[in-house]
Structure 1
Amino acid sequence: MARDPRAWLSVATAIFAIAWGGNEFTPLLVMYKRDGLPVTTVDLLLFEYVLGIVPALLIGGPLSDRYGRRPLMLPAPVIAASGSLLLAFGSSSVPMLSAGRVLCGAALGLAMAVGSSWLKELSQPPFAAETASGTGARRSAMSLTGGFGVGAGVAGVLAQWGPLPDSLPYLINVGLCLVAAAWILRAPETLVPEPTTRRLTEDLKIPAVAHRRFRLVVLPVALWLFACSATAYAIMPTLMMPKVHGAPIAFSALITVTTLGCGFAIQSVARRLDRPGTIRLPALALTLVATGMGLAAAASGPLTLWLTIATAIVLGLGFGIGLVAGLLEIERMARPDDLAGLTAVFYAVSYLGFGLPALMAMLHDSTGIGYPAMFTMLAVAAAGCLGLVARCRRS
Structure 2
Amino acid sequence: MTDTAGLIPTRPSPTPRTPPAPRRYGLRTALMMTASGWSANQFAALLGAYRAAGLPDAAVNALLAVYAVGLIPGLLAAAPLADRYGRRPVAFTALALNLAATLLLMLGAGATFWLAPGRLLTGISAGALLAAGGAWVKELSAPPYAPAGTETVAARRSGIFVSLGFASGGLSASLIAQWAPWPMVLAYLPHVALALLAGCLALGGPETRPTGPRGRTRSPGARPVGERVATGRTAGFRRAVLPLAPWVFAAPTVGFATLPGLVDGGLTGRQVVYAGVATAVVPGAGVAVQPLARRLSGRSRLLTGAAGLLVMAAGFALAVPAVAYRQPVLALLAGAVLGAGYGLALTYGLATTAALATPAALARLTSYFWSLAYLGMFAPLLLSALSATVPMTRLLAAAAALAVLCCALLAFLNRANGSRGPAR
Q: Does the alignment reach a TM-score above 0.5? A: yes
Match of 2:358 in 1: 335
- 8 Å CA contact retained: 2:36, 2:130: no
C-alpha separation in 2, matches of 1:278 and 1:143: 20
Letter of the 2:286 counterpart: G
Moved more, 307-316 or 120-129: 120-129
Which ranges in structure 2 are unaligned for 5 or more consecutive residues?
1-14, 216-228, 418-424
In the alignment, structure 1 residue 349 sits paired with structure 2 residue 349: no
- CA offset digits 1:90-117 (Å, max 9, x no partner): 1475542222112111121122111111
Counterpart for residue 154 of structure 2: 136
Match for residue 269 of structure 1? 292
Would you say the 8 A contact 1:208–1:334 is kept in 2? yes
SS in 2 for 1:190: coil
Question: Does structure 1 retain, via aligned residues, the 8 Å contact 2:308–2:340?
Answer: yes
Q: Aligned partner of 2:415: which letter?
A: R
Corresponding residue of 2:7: none
Residues 96, 128 of structure 1: CA spacing in aligned structure 2 closer, same or farther, 3 A cutoff? farther
1:371 aligns to what?
392
In structure 2, what is the equivalent of residue 385 of structure 1? 406
Distance 1:192 1:299 in 2: 50
User: How many Å apart are 1:222 and its aligned residue?
Assistant: 1.0
**TM-score w.r.t. structure 1 length?**
0.89
Q: Does 1:105 align with 2:96?
A: no
Q: Which amino acid aligns with 1:218?
A: V
Partner of 2:82: 64
* Structure 2 partner of 1:203: none
Higher Rg: 2
- Structure 1 unaligned runs (5+)? 198-205
The structural deviation recorded for 1:368 is 3.5
Paired-residue identity, % = 35
Query: Distance between the aligned counterparts of 1:148 and 1:278, measured in 2?
Result: 24
CA RMSD in angstroms, aligned pairs only:
2.6
* Residue of structure 2 in register with 1:168 after alignment: 186
With over 3 angstroms needed to count, the CA separation of the structure-2 counterparts of 1:291 and 1:167, relative to structure 1, is same
Aligned to 1:257, which of 256, 280, 284? Answer: 280
Q: Deviations over 1:283-337 (max 9, x none)?
A: 1111111121122222222211232012111101000000001111112111111
Moved more, 150-159 or 2-11: 2-11
> Is 2:306 the counterpart of 1:283?
yes
Shifted more, 183-192 versus 310-319: the winner is 183-192
Partner of 1:201: none
The letter for the 2-side match of 1:382 is A
1-structure distance, mates of 2:370, 2:238: 14
Asked whether the 8 Å contact 1:53–1:107 carries over to 2, the reply is yes
- Quick one: structure 1 residues 196 and 335, their matched pair in 2 at CA, closer, same or farther if it must change by over 3 Å? closer
Partner of 1:307: 330
Structure 2 vs 1, CA of residues 356 and 35 (structure 1 numbering), >3 Å: closer, same or farther? Answer: farther
How many residue pairs get aligned? The number is 385
Cα pair 2:130 2:370 within 8 Å, conserved: yes
Residue 386 of structure 1: how far off its partner (Å): 1.3
Residue aligning to 2:318: 295
Farther off after superposition, 34-43 or 245-254: 34-43
Tell me the distance in 1 between the aligned counterparts of 2:113 and 2:213: 42
Indicate the structure whose relative CO is greater, using CA pairs within 8 Å and at least 6 residues apart.
1
Please state how far the C-alpha of 1:339 moved relative to its aligned partner. 1.2
Question: Does the alignment pair 1:187 with 2:205?
Answer: yes
Structure 1 CA distance for aligned equivalents of residues 110 and 264 of structure 2: 21
Structure 2 contact 151–354 (Cα < 8 Å) conserved: no
Conserved 8 A contact 1:47-1:354: no
- Aligned partner of 1:381: which letter? L
